[in-house]
């Protein structure tokens, strides 16, 4: 690679916006420094007005640089260099200890007793030692989370937290905790609006329409729920070793759970402070809907199985029924025992294993058609039916609005895990007639189901 190409590659990794802001800041500080020098010279010359102007200019330039450039550059710092944040929290024991130190310090000042000054110095030294040792204890530790796959809502799972001590000396009294999160504040932004006179509240026709700007409050988007919300305690971690402990995980609702960082906390050695170090960690778990059999499913499952078997008569291995002989029947299917018992020729009829096909359909309703409880119930019912026939080794297919491709059962459960109300009025019309049997979960009324689909489907009505 030539020198020119190396120079071009190096420039590609440069953050131009940050460098431009940095150079502007240097130029502004240089002007502020020059203004400060001129103000000094003016003061020596006895020109009060020039001194005031140059000094004010220096302060103003320095303030503008501090407000506009420093926060911007601080946010552009490389993430891995600032990924670990230390949080301090004074414990109840620490508060009592500091209050006692303050009382002894006041007594030492009032009496001038050297012994009391020595005691205060020793007590403050203990606080300093506690802060340093606790910081050393939580440095050099690595955290890993081992999470299960194919997670269903409402079920218990086992995970693991693994802590590795990369240093040669041990660590004591370590707790793995959720990260310390700061309170989210609302964001205020300028948005385009329109000035209307008279206002709409007056009920009169507007006469004036002017473009305007409004300073409005914007609430932050709801955060994704975390995966890890408990505390795991390690009393002793040998140097250069790693330890793990099990986690009991249970996710109450379907959807995406994400872990954005994890905390390492210690109160060692004197329990004056709880010091927490936040470590960068990215983990996500997609929780499928609950597949436990619901009352509605258990109630209609025999009827679904009966209708499914009716559509599956053929020449499989499972006996469907014994019926009267017909001319087109083969002699090898004659049941001689039933024939001898009844005095009439009887044959055996079998189910057709090669046509045992079921299509599970989730007709996603529009927003507001179902309340949250009924909507979640419909999703859980759909997942339970799909999982039941999957375990029965039925040839399955799936259909739903905005679902891409022809997923397997896990792909269908992923769709159900994150789906939100969004109606497609013509969706059921696209199914049409087919040899497969449909199981439809819908929020439509009975008269809104297409007749061709009605003839070969069992329909669950979510609103009933």
Among 174-183, 192-201, 263-272, 437-446, the range scoring the smallest mean pLDDT is 192-201
Q: What is the mean pLDDT of residues 453-461?
A: 78
Beta carbons within 10 angstroms of residue 102's beta carbon: 12
Mean of per-residue pLDDT scores for the chain: 76
d(CA 329, CA 178): 71
Decide if pLDDT at 312 tops 50: no
- Whether residue 186 is predicted with pLDDT greater than 70 in this model: the reply is no
What's the rounded mean pLDDT across residues 110-116? 77
pLDDT, residue 459, reads 81
Lowest mean pLDDT, pick from 135-139, 218-222, 293-297 = 218-222
Specify the pLDDT at position 317: 55
Please tell me the distance from the alpha carbon of residue 443 to that of residue 375, in angstroms, as a whole number: 9
User: pLDDT digit string (tens) for 231-261?
Assistant: 888 888 888 888 888 888 888 888 888 888 8
User: Average pLDDT in the 274-301 region?
Assistant: 79
d(CA 438, CA 460): 11
Global pTM value: 0.62
Residue pair 253/126 in contact by the 8 Å Cβ criterion: no
pLDDT band of residue 3 (cuts 50, 70, 90) is low
- Residue range 92-103: mean pLDDT, rounded: 86
Say what percent of the chain tops pLDDT 70.
76
What distance in Å separates the CA atoms of residue 124 and residue 140, rounded to the nearest whole number?
Answer: 27
CA-CA distance, 269 to 97, in Å (whole number)?
14
Q: 34-43, 156-165, 201-210, 307-316: which has the minimum mean pLDDT?
A: 307-316
Identify the pLDDT of residue 184. Answer: 59
The model's confidence at residue 313, banded by pLDDT at 50, 70 and 90, is: very low
Distance CA(270)–CA(86), nearest Å, equals 18
Segment 148-171 mean pLDDT: 87
Average pLDDT estimate for 85-111: 81
pLDDT of the residue at 99 = 85
* Among 2-16, 56-70, 448-462, the least confident range: 2-16
Cβ proximity of 362 and 381 under 8 Å? no
| Dist. CA 390–CA 72, nearest whole Å | 54
Quick one: angle between helices 114-137 and 92-111, nearest 10?
150
Asked if the model's pLDDT at residue 285 lies above 80, the reply is yes
Q: Using the structure block, give the residue that is written with the tokens 């070793």.
A: 241
Average pLDDT over residues 347-367: 71
Per-residue model confidence (pLDDT) at position 309: 54
Check whether 158 has a pLDDT greater than 70: yes
- Write down the residue that tokens 């017909």 correspond to: 326
Give per-residue burial for 253-289: e unless 16+ CB within 10 Å, then b. Answer: ebbebebbbbbbbbbbebbbbbbbbbbebebebbbbb
State residue 82's pLDDT score.
Answer: 41
């Amino acid at each position: 690679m030539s020198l020119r190409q190396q120079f071009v590659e190096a420039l590609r990794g440069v953050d131009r916006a940050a460098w431009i802001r940095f150079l502007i800041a240097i130029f502004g500080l240089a002007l502020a420094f020059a203004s400060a020098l001129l103000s000094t010279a003016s003061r020596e010359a006895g020109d009060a007005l020039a001194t005031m102007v140059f000094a004010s200019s220096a302060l103003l330039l320095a303030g503008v640089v501090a407000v506009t450039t420093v926060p911007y550059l601080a946010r552009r710092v490389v993430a891995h260099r600032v990924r670990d944040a230390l949080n301090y929290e004074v414990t109840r024991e620490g508060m009592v200890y500091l209050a006692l130190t303050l009382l002894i310090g006041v007594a030492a000042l009032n009496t001038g007793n050297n012994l009391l000054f020595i005691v205060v110095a020793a007590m403050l030294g203990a606080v300093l030692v506690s802060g340093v040792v606790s910081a050393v204890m939580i440095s050099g530790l690595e955290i890993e989370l081992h999470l299960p796959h194919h997670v269903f809502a409402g079920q218990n799972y086992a995970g693991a937290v693994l802590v590795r001590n990369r240093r040669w000396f041990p660590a004591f009294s370590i707790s793995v905790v959720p990260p310390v999160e700061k309170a989210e504040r609302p964001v205020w932004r300028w948005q385009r609006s329109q000035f209307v006179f008279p206002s709409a509240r007056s009920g009169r026709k507007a006469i004036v329409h002017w473009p305007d700007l409004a300073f409005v409050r914007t609430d932050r988007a709801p955060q994704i729920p975390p995966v890890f919300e408990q505390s795991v305690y390690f009393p002793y971690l040998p140097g250069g070793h790693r330890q793990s402990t099990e986690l009991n995980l249970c996710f109450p609702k379907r959807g995406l759970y994400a872990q954005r960082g994890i905390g390492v906390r210690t109160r060692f050695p004197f329990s004056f402070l709880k010091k927490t170090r936040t470590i960068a960690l990215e983990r996500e778990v997609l929780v499928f809907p609950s597949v436990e059999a619901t009352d509605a499913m258990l109630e209609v499952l025999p009827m679904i199985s009966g209708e499914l078997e009716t559509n599956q008569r053929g020449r499989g291995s499972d006996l469907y029924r014994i019926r009267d002989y017909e001319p087109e029947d083969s002699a090898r299917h004659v049941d001689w025992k039933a024939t001898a018992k009844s005095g009439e020729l009887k044959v055996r009829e079998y189910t057709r294993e090669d046509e045992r096909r079921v299509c599970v359909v989730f007709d996603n309703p529009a927003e507001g058609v179902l309340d949250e409880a009924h909507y979640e119930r419909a999703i859980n019912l759909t997942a339970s039916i799909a999982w039941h026939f999957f375990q029965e080794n039925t040839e399955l297919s799936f259909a739903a609005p905005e679902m891409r491709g022809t997923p397997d059962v896990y792909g269908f459960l992923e769709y159900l895990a994150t789906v939100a109300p969004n109606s497609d009025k013509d969706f059921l019309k696209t199914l049409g007639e087919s040899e497969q049997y449909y199981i439809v979960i819908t929020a439509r009324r009975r008269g809104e189901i297409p007749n061709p689909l009605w003839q070969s489907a069992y329909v669950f009505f979510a609103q009933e």
